[in-house]
Amino acid sequence: MRIEEETSTVAGLPAEPEKATLEGKNKILGFWLFIAAETTLFATMFGTYLALKGESLAGPTPGELYSLPMVAAATLILLTSSLTSVLAIMAMHRNDAPGMIRWFGITILLGVAFLGLEAYEFYEYVHEGHTFTSSAFGSSFYLLLGTHGSHVLYGVFWILALMIQGRQRGITVQTAPKFYVASLYWHFVDVVWVFIFTVVYLMGMME
């Protein structure tokens, strides 16, 4: 730990600043484990949704409810934001703090756009009688989608806070692991959405 700290100050910023210190390595490994835990959390909610999606009672069924264009747009937006977060990390590896902040900014703007679409979608569903309490289908749908949406929302604020830190302190061996971990989080949230798109929407519309 001591030796690594010294080299980082002597030789400037190392090639992979996020893994240059033991703290950074710990943070990244710990975050991967956290993602594993989150995966089980979402798996449980997916399982519950699959078990209950047929129970829509008097309300609309999945096939009647979902409309592809809007969901496809949301998917496209979120996948693009994954790409921009990669570009942010690439900028970080070039030690280009303004570039990184710019790409992170675009990422969270796309995230906000996604949330806007989702809010609009939920608004329409509620008008069609599909609510959190309308049926077991509704409960399990909003639990899964709501948990994902709140992850996106949290990610937006988190990355915003990191952008401010990037402005104040630039890219150092202390801040780099934070940026890296936040981009991991963003990728994870996107991957969960890919599963939601497939399992909830595509499979729901095929019925």
Partner 1 sequence: MATIIILIVFGLFLAAILTGGYNKKYLERVQQNWLWEWITTVDHKKIGVLYLTAGGFFFTVGGLEALLIRLQLMFPDNRFIVGDQYNQLMSMHGTTMIFLVALPLLFGLMNVIVPLQIGARDVAFPFLNSLGFWLYFSGGLLLNLSWLFGGAPDAGWTSYATLALNEFSPGPGVNYYVLGLQIAGIGTLISGINFLVTIINMRAPGMSYLRMPLFTWTTFVTSALILFAFPPLTAGLFMMMFERLFDTNFFTTHGGGNVTIWQHIFWIFGHPEVYILVLPAFGVFSEVISTFSRKRLFGYNSMVFAVVLIGFLGFMVWVHHMFTVGLGPVANTIFAVATMAIAVPTGIKVFNWLATMWGGSLRFTTAMLYAAGFIVMFVIGGVTGVMLGVVPADWQFHDTYFVVAHFHYVIIGGTLLGILAGVYYWWPKIFGRMLSEKWGRWNFWFFYPGVHLTFFPQHFLGLYGMPRRVFTYPSGYGLELNNLLSSLGTILMTIGLLFFLYNAVWSLTKGPRAESDPWDGRTLEWAISSPPPEYNFAQLPKIRSLDPWWAEKREGNRGMQPAEPLGPIHMPSSTYLPFVMAIGFFISGIGFVFHSVRVGVLGLLIVIVTLFIRSFQEDEGFHIHPEEEVKGT
Q: Which residues bind to partner 1, rule: CB under 8 A?
A: 1-2, 5, 22, 25-26, 29-30, 33-34, 36-38, 40-41, 43-45, 48, 51-52, 55-57, 132-140, 143, 157-158, 161-162, 164-165, 169, 174, 178
Nearer to partner 1, 82 or 175 (CB): 175
CB of 69 to partner 1, least distance (A): 29
CB of 162 to partner 1, least distance (A): 8
Residue 162 tokens read as: 């990191």
9: exposed, middle or buried (C-beta count within 10 Å: 0-12, 13-18, 19+)?
A: exposed
Q: From CA 97, how far away is CA 78, in angstroms rounded?
A: 23
Nearer to partner 1, 11 or 133 (CB): 133
Nearer to partner 1, 86 or 143 (CB): 143
Closest CA to 122 of 143, 100, 103, 102: 143
CB of 76 to partner 1, least distance (A): 29
Under DSSP, the state recorded for 15 is: S
CB of 129 to partner 1, least distance (A): 14
Residue 2 tokens read as: 């001591």
User: How many helical (H) and strand (E) elements, i.e. helices and strands, does the chain have?
Assistant: 8, 0
CB of 91 to partner 1, least distance (A): 20
DSSP readout, 43-106?
HHHHHHHHHHTT--TTS--HHHH--HHHHHHHHHHHHHHHHHHHHHHHHHHTT-HHHHHHHHHH
Nearer to partner 1, 46 or 80 (CB): 46
Nearer to partner 1, 48 or 80 (CB): 48
